[in-house]
C-alpha cells in the first residue's frame, strides 16, 4: 500500500512539474504563442510589436476587448494579453496570473494616453477647450496630491476592487504636459514599422508642430470663467485608469465650475474613438497616442493633441 501511495505521489508531482514546464515562465516561452491586443494601432499593439522585435520572438496576435481578455486567457483561447491598467492588475489579484513584463520595462516613461480635440472645434470653441484643459490639469494635480482619494474615484470609475486599483496605479505616471520627445519617438518607430507613410508625415517637425499644441497649457492655467453654459461631447476608453483625470474632474466638480456639461461617450479602444472623431460624433476625448497618430495620418482625421494624460501603465499578462 505504501508503494502504491508513493507511486501516486510521484505521478502527481511529475504531472504538476510537467504542467509548469509547459506554461510560460520566461520571455522565450512566448515563441509561437497567441497574444491578445485591444486593437490594431493601439499603444498596446505598438508596445507588443516593439517587445517581440527586440527579443526576436514570433507570436500570433489577435484582437480581444480588454474586458474579455482575462476570461479568454482562462478558457485557453489565448496564451497571454497586453492591456492598459487596471486589467493586468485584475488578472494578477483576482486570477493569480503573472505579469511577464510591464510597459515600463519595454520603454521607460513612454507616452500613452493624451487629451485631444477636433481641430475645427478648437478653432470655434477655444473657451470650452481652455476650460476642459484647465480641469484636466487640476484633476491630474489632485491625483498626485491625493492618491487615496484618487483610488476611491478609480474604484467607482472602473467598478473594480480597491486592491486592484491600488496595484494598477503604481505602474502609471499621471501627467498633463505632452511628452513631445516620446511622441516623436513613437512617430519614428511607426514609420519604421510601416504603420504610417513618410509621404503623409512630410517634414516630421512641421507635422508634430501642428499635431501637438502644448502652448495652450499656460493659457489654461490662468483661465477663469464660471458661466460658459456649454455642452462638450467627451470620448474615453472603458475602465481605462490612464484616463482617471477625467473622472476626478467629474467627481470634484471642476467642469461644473466653468459652467460645462460633459456628455460621455465610451469606446472599447482608441481606433474606435478616432472613428468617432472622424464622424464628428465627439468634440474632445482621451485616447492612446498611437491610434491618435496613425488615424490622424492614414485617414486624415483632423485632431490636435492638447495634453498628456499618462506615461506607461500597460503590461503583458500570462497564465
pLDDT tens, position by position, 171-212: 999 999 999 999 999 999 899 989 999 999 999 999 999 999
Q: Residue 254 domain-assigned? A: yes
State what percent of residues in the chain have pLDDT above 90.
89
Q: In this structure, how many other beta carbons lie within 10 angstroms of the beta carbon of residue 77?
A: 14
Give the Cα separation of 292 and 189 in Å (integer): 15
Q: Residue 140 domain-assigned? A: yes
N- to C-terminal Cα separation, the chain: 37
pLDDT tens, position by position, 121-178: 999 999 999 999 999 999 999 999 999 999 999 999 999 999 999 999 999 999 999 9
Give the Cα separation of 289 and 305 in Å (integer): 9
Q: Residue 102 domain-assigned? A: no
Rounded mean pLDDT of 278-294?
97
Q: How far from chain centre, in Å, is Cα 75?
A: 25
What was the pLDDT predicted at 41?
A: 86
SS3 (DSSP) at 298? helix
Quote the domain boundaries for residue 121: 113-312
Question: What are the CA-CA distances from residue 85 to residues 161, 168, 241, 295, 297 (Å)?
Answer: 13, 6, 6, 23, 27
Rounded mean pLDDT of 227-240?
96
What was the pLDDT predicted at 52?
A: 96
Domain total of the chain: 1
Q: Residue 100 domain-assigned? A: no
DSSP letters of 154-200?
HHHHH---HHHHHHHHTTEEE--S--HHHHHHHHHHHHHTTSS-HHH
Q: Residue 171 domain-assigned? A: yes
pLDDT tens, position by position, 59-83: 999 999 999 999 999 999 999 999 9
Read off the pTM. 0.90
Amino acid at each position: 500500500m505504501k508503494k502504491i501511495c508513493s507511486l501516486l505521489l510521484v505521478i502527481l508531482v511529475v504531472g504538476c512539474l510537467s504542467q509548469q514546464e509547459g506554461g510560460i515562465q520566461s520571455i522565450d516561452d512566448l515563441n509561437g504563442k497567441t497574444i491578445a491586443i485591444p486593437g490594431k494601432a493601439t499603444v498596446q499593439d505598438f508596445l507588443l510589436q516593439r517587445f517581440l522585435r527586440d527579443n526576436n520572438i514570433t507570436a500570433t496576435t489577435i484582437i480581444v476587448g480588454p474586458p474579455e481578455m482575462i476570461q479568454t486567457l482562462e478558457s485557453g483561447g489565448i496564451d497571454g494579453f497586453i492591456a492598459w491598467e487596471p486589467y493586468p492588475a485584475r488578472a494578477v489579484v483576482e486570477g493569480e496570473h503573472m505579469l511577464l513584463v510591464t510597459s515600463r520595462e519595454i520603454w521607460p516613461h513612454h507616452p500613452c494616453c493624451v487629451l485631444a480635440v477636433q481641430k475645427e472645434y478648437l478653432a470655434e470653441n477655444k473657451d470650452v477647450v481652455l476650460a476642459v484643459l484647465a480641469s484636466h490639469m487640476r484633476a491630474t494635480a489632485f491625483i498626485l496630491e491625493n492618491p487615496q482619494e484618487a483610488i476611491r474615484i478609480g474604484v467607482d470609475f472602473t467598478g473594480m476592487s480597491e486592491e486592484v486599483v491600488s496595484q494598477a496605479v503604481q505602474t502609471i505616471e499621471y501627467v498633463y504636459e505632452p511628452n513631445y520627445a516620446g511622441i516623436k519617438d513613437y512617430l519614428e518607430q511607426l514609420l519604421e514599422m510601416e504603420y504610417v507613410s513618410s509621404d503623409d508625415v512630410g517634414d516630421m517637425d512641421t507635422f508634430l508642430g501642428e499635431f501637438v499644441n502644448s502652448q495652450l497649457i499656460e493659457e489654461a492655467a490662468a483661465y477663469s470663467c464660471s458661466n460658459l453654459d456649454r455642452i462638450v461631447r467627451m470620448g474615453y476608453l472603458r475602465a481605462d485608469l490612464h484616463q482617471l483625470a477625467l473622472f476626478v474632474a467629474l467627481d470634484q466638480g471642476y467642469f461644473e465650475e466653468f459652467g460645462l456639461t460633459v456628455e460621455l461617450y465610451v469606446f472599447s479602444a482608441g481606433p474606435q474613438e478616432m472613428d468617432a472623431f472622424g464622424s464628428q460624433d465627439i468634440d474632445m476625448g482621451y485616447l492612446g497616442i498611437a491610434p491618435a497618430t496613425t488615424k490622424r495620418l492614414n485617414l486624415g482625421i483632423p485632431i490636435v493633441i492638447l495634453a498628456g494624460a499618462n506615461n506607461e501603465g500597460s503590461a503583458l499578462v500570462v497564465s
